[in-house]
Every structure is written in structure tokens, then in C-alpha cells.
Amino acid sequence: MAENLIDLRRRIKSLTSIRKTFRAMKTISAVRLKRSVAELNKIRPVMDKIISILRRVGPAVDMDSHPLFKQREGGKTVMVVVSADRGLCGAFNSHLIGAAEKRYQNQLDETGANIALVIAGNKAHTHFLKKGYPIKKNYESIMSRLKYKDAEDLSKYLQDIFKDPKENIKKIEFVFTRYISASKSRPEVKQLFPLGSEWKQEEADNGNEEVIDFIFEPSEKEIFAYLLPKDLNGLVQQTLLQSAASEHMARMIAMEQASQNADEMARTLTLNMNKLRQASITGELLEIITATEALRK
């Protein structure tokens, strides 16, 4: 009986300690989620303005001959898979990796295309390396220390390999987790290259709205050449930030559920311990009463 009580006390103490860890991790994830969402909100108006300018100067550029806009008949596909560097975030990584594997298989079934992976996130790298998938490049621990320089480096690498004729790349697409709200996210596939035609002309919100004819200095082509890489860097950064925000949201929810489970287990163990203590006290009282009655006789 005493050994059972000691064991229960140890388990309750251990659960209390683990519960504190879960709550601390939830608090940290909540702070990081707030920071990631703030970065997303900060970058959005800048991106909108860049796209607006690109639309205005776009007609002066021959996009059909631009290497980043060129549609290609053949070549391989590069999938950029964005996962988390760490676990303890519920089904975040498993859902993302499952979506990436499904997309990979669909590409093989539909076109039989040669597919290579670029990995951002240690969890995806570990999984695909173990399964023997063709990994072209891995950005180790990029999501744990996500900075604009990381997004810029990834964007530049993707632009370089897409423009390189020796690479023979048909398209590059991201498989990532889109952040929707503080309680919702979903894995998505987004094509990065070749770029679409959304910048070929400025679209007015109203068909009757007059489009102002601006005089650009320097030339429209120079402005387009300068702003296009900035826009691509921003697109990559937005994608990474969305995945990071989704990861922190998933970890925050997972830690909250783990804390609740720990509380429930602690209550159950405490109830069992109280029952054992009561049974022990009752047994000892019965022994004392029995011994007293025997002495009287």
C-alpha cells in the first residue's frame, strides 16, 4: 500500500512539472505567433504597392521573352517543401509532409516528370531523406531562425536555377501551410515559376475609373528589372512566414491540449491516491479496534 502511494505521489509531481513545461511552451508559441502575424501584416501593404507599380510598368516589358515568365513544354519540376524544424506541434508536420508526398505522386502519375525537392525545415528533410526522395538542396534549421536574409537567399537560388538552361526546370512550386486564422491553417501548393501575367496591365477597380498616365524616371524597364526581384523576395518571405505562423499556432493548440490532459491525469491520480490513503487509514483503524477488543477479552 505504501509503495503504491509513493508511486502515485511521484507521478503527480512529475505531471505537475510537465504541465508547467507545456504552459511555458504555449506562452512562447503565442508570442512567436503574434510576432509572425505582425510581420505578415507589415509586409502586405509593401507587397501590394510593389505589385501595383509592376502592373503599371509591365506593358513596357516584353514578358513573353523574360526568363522568369517563359512557359516551357518539358523539363523537371522543383518542389519547395516548407515544414517545421521541431516537433511538438500536433499534426502540423504530418499533414504538410502528407500533402507534399501526395503532390509528388500526382506529378509522377500525370506527367511522369522528373521531380526534385528543395527542403526548408528539418522535419521534412529527415522524412524525405529516410524515404530516399531526390533532395536538390536543404536549408537546415531555416525555420527556427527565420530572417529576411534567409528568404532572400532562397528566392535568389530559385531564380538562378530556373533561369539556368542547364537545369532544364519546367516549373517551381511551394508546398507549405497557409495561415488563415489563430485557429485554422491548411497545406497548400503555390506555383512560383514561371510567373503569371498578372502584371501585364494595371487593372482598375472600376471599369469607368480613369487610369493616370505617369511619367517614369528611370525607364519603365529599369523599374521593372529592379522591383521584380524585390517582389519575388517578398513572396518567398510571405510563404515562409505563413508556414512559421501556422507552426506556432499548431504548437500553441497542442500545448494547450497537452496541459488539459496533464490536468485531467493529475486529478485522476490524486483521486486514486486519496482513495488509497483512506483505505490505508481505515485498515489501520480496524487493526487498532480489533487489537483493543482482543485485549479487553
d(CA 24, CA 149): 29
Chain segment 130-189, per-residue pLDDT in tens: 999 999 999 998 998 889 999 999 999 999 999 998 998 999 999 999 999 888 999 999
Confidence of residue 206 (pLDDT cuts 50, 70, 90): very low
Whether residue 201 has pLDDT greater than 60: no
What are the residue ranges spanned by the domains of the chain? 27-201+213-253
pLDDT tens profile 29-54: 999 999 999 999 999 999 999 988 88
Domain 27-201+213-253: CATH class, spelled out? alpha beta
Which residue in the block uniquely carries the three cell numbers 532572400? Answer: 152
Residue 213 has pLDDT above 80, yes or no: no
Highest average pLDDT, of 5-14, 28-37, 60-69, comes from: 28-37
Tell me the C-alpha distance between 207 and 211, whole Å.
10
Question: pTM of the entire structure?
Answer: 0.85
Task: Give the N- to C-terminal CA distance of the chain in Å, as an integer.
Answer: 31
pLDDT score recorded for residue 203: 47
Residue 209, pLDDT above cutoff 60? no
Cβ-proximal residues to 116 (8 Å cutoff; 6+ apart), any chain: 76, 77, 78, 79, 134, 135, 136
**Angle (CA) 141 131 192, round 5°:** 55
Identify the weakest region by mean pLDDT among 8-12, 58-62, 146-150, 255-259: 58-62
Q: What is the pLDDT at residue 290?
A: 80
Distance CA 100, CA 120 (A): 13
Least confident of 79-88, 104-113, 125-134, 257-266: 104-113
Q: Is 204 helix (H, G, I), strand (E, B) or coil?
A: coil
What average pLDDT does the segment 118-130 reach? 95
Q: Are 5 and 280 in contact (CB under 8 A)?
A: yes
Provide the percentage of residues in the chain whose pLDDT is more than 90.
Answer: 52
Is pLDDT of 244 > 90? yes
Given a contact cutoff of 8 angstroms between Cβ atoms, the answer to whether 25 and 251 are in contact is yes
| Mean pLDDT in residue range 189-195 | 91
Longest dimension (CA), the chain: 117
Residue 244 to residue 252: CA distance in whole angstroms: 12
Question: Which residues, 6+ apart, have CB-to-CB distance to 225 below 8 Å?
Answer: none
In the Cβ-directed half-sphere of 114, how many Cα atoms lie within 13 Å?
Answer: 8
91: left (phi over 0), alpha (psi -120 to 50) or beta: alpha
pLDDT confidence of residue 210: 56
Ramachandran quadrant class, 261 (left: phi over 0; alpha: psi -120 to 50; beta: rest)? alpha
7 vs 157, more confident? 157
Q: Is the confidence at residue 205, as pLDDT, over 70?
A: no
Please, are residues 240 and 82 in contact by the beta-carbon 8 Å criterion?
Answer: yes
